[in-house]
Amino acid sequence: MPRAAKPRYLGAMKLSASQLAGQALVVGFDGAALPEWVRTALSEGRLGGVILFRRNLPELAAIAALNAAVVAAAAGPPPLIGLDEEGGRVRRMPAPFPALPAMRRLGDTEDQALARRVGRGLGAALGAFGFNLDFAPVLDVDTNPSNPIIGDRAFSSEPERAGALGAAFGLGLMEAGVLACGKHFPGHGDTVSDSHLELPRVDHGRERLERVELAPFAAAIRAGLPALMSAHVVYPALDPARPATLSRAIATDLLRDRLGFGGVLFSDDLEMRALADHHAVEESAVLAVEAGCDVLLVCSRRDFVERAHEALAREAERSPAFHARLRQAFERSRVLRESHPPRPSADPTSPLAVLAALAASLHAD
């Protein structure tokens, strides 16, 4: 589309179908500089934000400038600038950014005040570099030793502890100005396969799911965590046909109507094979929004971003109901983004000493 004049504030104007579709997307890209296609989409209000990975963050010195470029390009509400910085084996920030241990170590302390301090320290450090969203905490319950993807990323194998420590960690992040996003709803802890590679199932009955898998998410919702991420996992007791990301029974009826969640639901990456092996990205993007996801992650491929965007915009132009659903998703996202705008610091390394001390104490114990 031709380059549009940069709107001062998207929430104060009538968004086009193309803009509404783009605002539902948070995307990844290659390289340590902001690509022109991402800059253009941000400036035209056709992108909600970005997710960064180690490939984008080769050295600490350049990160704040990259995130400042995202902020400068974005039209409308503040952009989402996110990453997966959990600690342990899932971390994106390069050295000398302090390395937290796996969250199981923090869960083992059973110390909610400490979890909150660690979250606050991590949030302050990430926020100084311009991030306003961390895809953490993991709220899965680690009940299956054969699980190849969760394990010690979970705070505990006990639902109550996983919920309490995870919620405390998330609240700490938010106190420092970084949004917390609990994952992977309604629970990825008892799978025997990795949803990056195939579509897992959790075959427990509803009573067990509510008692174990759902309990930490219910606790996080009560505590006020503003965002959750869906799991690309099938739960036959909840929906025998579709994984949670594409299931209205799970993403709306259960999450919003039953558990009372009023925040933003992110999809996990639409490129993951759990979805991509079964649905074209055009189909999964539309189905995910219809199910109840508000923001969709497309973490690597520009062609997938463009295909998802075109499918969402086309469906919004065709269906008034889908257009209204995209508007609802945008309003939820807008509120979240305005509450925690990204603020890259002129001296982003200043909070690192506090985080380093917290990390050292956990590693030492």
Instruction: Say yes or no to pLDDT of 10 above 80.
Output: no
Residue 267, CA distances (Å) to 48, 189, 355 in order: 14, 17, 29
Query: Mind listing the pLDDT tens digit for each residue in 46-84?
Result: 999 999 999 999 999 999 999 999 999 999 899 999 999
Rounded Cα–Cα distance for residues 187 and 202 (Å) = 9
Rounded Cα–Cα distance for residues 112 and 166 (Å) = 9
% the chain with pLDDT above 90: 92
Rounded Cα–Cα distance for residues 45 and 23 (Å) = 7
- With a CB cutoff of 8 Å and minimum separation 6, the contacts of 153 are 86, 88, 89, 90, 102, 103, 104, 138, 140, 142
Q: What is the pLDDT of residue 21?
A: 98
Query: Mind listing the pLDDT tens digit for each residue in 135-176?
Result: 999 999 999 998 889 999 999 999 999 999 999 999 999 999
Report how many helices (DSSP H) and strands (DSSP E) the chain contains, helices first: 14, 8
How many other CB atoms sit within 10 Å of the CB of residue 303?
10
Please tell me whether the peptide bond between 2 and the residue prior to it is cis, using omega within 30 degrees of 0: no
Rounded Cα–Cα distance for residues 312 and 295 (Å) = 12
Q: What is the pLDDT of residue 330?
A: 98
- With a CB cutoff of 8 Å and minimum separation 6, the contacts of 6 are 43, 44, 45, 75
How many other CB atoms sit within 10 Å of the CB of residue 128?
23
Rounded Cα–Cα distance for residues 138 and 98 (Å) = 19
Label residue 197 by pLDDT band (50, 70, 90): confident
Whether the Cβ atoms of residue 245 and residue 298 lie closer than 8 Å to each other: no
Residues tagged active-site: 196, 268
Give the pLDDT mean for 264-281.
Answer: 95
Instruction: Say yes or no to pLDDT of 5 above 50.
Output: no
| Assigned superfamily of 20-364 | Glycoside hydrolase, family 3, N-terminal domain (3.20.20.300)
Mean pLDDT of the chain: 94
b/e per residue 313-336 (b: at least 16 CB within 10 A): bbbbeeeeebbebbeebbebbbeb
Q: What is the pLDDT of residue 12?
A: 42
Give the pLDDT mean for 171-182.
Answer: 98
Q: What is the pLDDT of residue 228?
A: 98
∠ CA 234-238-243, rounded to 5°: 25
Alpha-carbon dihedral of residues 163, 167, 168, 172, nearest 10 degrees? 160
Give the pLDDT mean for 14-42.
Answer: 97
Tell me the CA end-to-end span of the chain in Å, nearest whole number. Answer: 56
Q: What is the pLDDT of residue 192?
A: 82
Residue 248, token pair as written in the block: 């209205």
Beta-ladder partners of 87: 90
Query: Mind listing the pLDDT tens digit for each residue in 296-348?
Result: 999 999 999 999 999 999 999 999 999 999 999 999 999 999 999 999 999 99
Q: What is the pLDDT of residue 76?
A: 87
Q: What is the pLDDT of residue 4?
A: 40
Beta-ladder partners of 254: none
| Domain boundary assignment for the chain | 20-364
Query: Mind listing the pLDDT tens digit for each residue in 225-245?
Result: 999 999 999 999 999 999 999
Give the pLDDT mean for 98-106.
Answer: 97
Instruction: Say yes or no to pLDDT of 3 above 60.
Output: no
Q: Where are the alpha helices (DSSP H) in the chain?
A: 17-23, 36-43, 63-73, 103-109, 112-128, 159-175, 206-208, 215-223, 248, 273-276, 281-291, 302-318, 320-339, 352-364
Rounded Cα–Cα distance for residues 25 and 6 (Å) = 18
Rounded Cα–Cα distance for residues 153 and 356 (Å) = 20
Helix (H, G, I), strand (E, B) or coil at 67: helix
- With a CB cutoff of 8 Å and minimum separation 6, the contacts of 14 are none
> Which residue shows structure tokens 């995910």?
288
Rounded Cα–Cα distance for residues 114 and 169 (Å) = 8
Cα 41 from chain centroid (whole Å): 20
